[in-house]
Amino acid sequence: MNERDAITHHVVVIFIRYEMSYLLCLSFPKQVTRLLSFTGKRDLKCKKPAYMLHHPSDHSIFATTHPGMYKYIPTDIEAIKTNASMNHDAGFQFIVATADAHEILKWYVLCALEKDCMAPHDAGLYCDFQNDRFNRYAGCHRYDQSAINLLLANSYEYNATNYVSNLGDGATIEGIALNGLTDANFSCTERTTSH
């Protein structure tokens, strides 16, 4: 599949640059049809927040969060060991500019600005889960992923269903490597063309 096919055959196409360049193609016709049914309606109550993660990591937040982070982001340790507050990947986030999302982002940025919050001393990526991916600290840290999962769990009653999308219902996600892109492809400055 190429970029043109991606745009033609998928409802949403998201371009992501992370070490390599990818197109993330999402197809979720049930969700789009449902969303379109709300067009023009007022006074609707949303069941999901304005800040959502999408893909579970299959371990608890506790298992992959260095204990040093709790000094900056206090939390209920027992609550983040449960399946209900499972850790979710931070590489794909849905954020709408609301007061709640701004409050979460404020603490996320403050943690990022404090080295010992985002990257506690002796933190490392390698995890040793052994036989327990929920109740045992795996000796690793997920940096920004740990921070956002803690902040969302704290904000939404330690229940990931309160801050995780349901895009998984009928969704397909395809990553497509794009070659030949340079930094100029990601520039926010206006380009001039010569004829």
pLDDT of amino acid 86? 94
**Cα–Cα distance, 55 to 20 (Å, whole number):** 20
Tokens of 107: 């603490």
Amino acid at position 130, single letter? Q
> Can you give the residue ranges of every domain in the chain?
1-36+166-182, 49-165
For 28-122, strand residue ranges (E) read: 51-53, 56-60, 86-88, 93-95
Q: DSSP letter string over 40-66?
A: T--SPPPSS-SEEE--EEEEETGGGS-
pLDDT of amino acid 43? 55
**Cα–Cα distance, 80 to 86 (Å, whole number):** 7
Sequence-separated (6 or more) residues with CB below 8 Å from residue 166: 31
**Cα–Cα distance, 184 to 138 (Å, whole number):** 40
Of 25 and 113, the one with more pLDDT: 113
Lowest-pLDDT choice from 20-29, 102-111, 117-126, 128-137: 20-29
Neighbouring-strand partners of residue 164? 53
**Cα–Cα distance, 95 to 89 (Å, whole number):** 14
Sequence-separated (6 or more) residues with CB below 8 Å from residue 43: none
**Cα–Cα distance, 98 to 163 (Å, whole number):** 14
Q: What is the pLDDT of residues 60-80, one digit of tens each?
A: 999 999 999 999 999 999 999
Tokens of 112: 């990022």
pLDDT of amino acid 165? 81
Residue 145: CB atoms within 10 Å: 19
SS3 (DSSP) at 132: coil
Strands 56-60 and 86-88: antiparallel
Tokens of 150: 């803690």
In this model, does residue 39 exceed pLDDT 80?
A: no
**Cα–Cα distance, 116 to 109 (Å, whole number):** 13
pLDDT, averaged across the chain: 77
Distance linking the first and last C-alpha atoms of the chain: 32
Residue 64: CB atoms within 10 Å: 23
